[in-house]
Amino acid sequence: MKHLFFTLLVILFVSPVYSQTRKSSPATVDTVSGFPFFIFSEPSSEYEVVGKAMSFGNIINMSVDEKTELKQKAKTVVSKALERKEAGKTPEFDAILINLDSDKMQVIKFKNAVSTDATVSNCKDVPVYFFSKPVNDYETVATLPADYSNRAKRGLLFDKIRSMMKRTLEKEENGEIEHFDAVIINPDDLSETLIRFK
């Protein structure tokens, strides 16, 4: 009898959690100055890292620059990578791969054809489409302005996005917004489009 009671409790309390799991979708990344730009995502096709896109000093300078828009910063990354290629510091490359968490900006070469297909990364267990869009059909749940703490750990982009996701999840938990599967972040103003896959 006790075993049956325990099983019922598990069904009652665990099942709703499973029904709220978040779906994901493959992504197509944006191209910047003609190059696929992987940020908050990983290429689906096989590739190898062939060099750095920028020097560490350039990365730091760009990270703390609050005046330049993100799309312009993305163009700067590509132009700096091309400068390094012209100077013989990196070989030919196909795309840019950025890991915001570790502040790595790398140039990559695909094993086969150049591709914009990607798998997106999660932030706070939520798929985040940034400089990319989902392949699968979806509906919009809500659109939110950029909302992050001014005390975000370092004031850098990665910290702002983490802070935004924390606040968005709190809104969902409090019933202020409906359940959503993923977030598309607009690089122009960091506004969020919360989506649910069909």
End of a domain among 91, 110, 129? 110
Q: Give the pLDDT confidence score for residue 72 in this predicted structure.
A: 92
pLDDT at res. 151: 67
Last residue of a domain, one of 110, 138, 154: 110
pTM here is: 0.84
- Consecutive 10-residue averages of pLDDT for the chain (198 residues): 38 39 92 96 96 82 78 93 94 94 88 97 94 97 89 70 92 95 94 96
pLDDT for the residue 28: 98
Q: Which domain holds residue 125?
A: 120-197
**93 and 125 belong to one structural domain:** no
Q: What tokens does 155 get?
A: 């004031």
pLDDT digits (tens, 9 = 90+) for 124-137: 999 999 999 999 99
Domain final residue pick, 55, 82, 110: 110
Q: Is residue 13 a part of any domain in this protein?
A: no
Residue 156 and residue 100 share a domain: no
User: Residue 15: what pLDDT?
Assistant: 34
Instruction: Report yes or no on 156 lying in a domain.
Output: yes
Same domain? 133 vs 153: yes
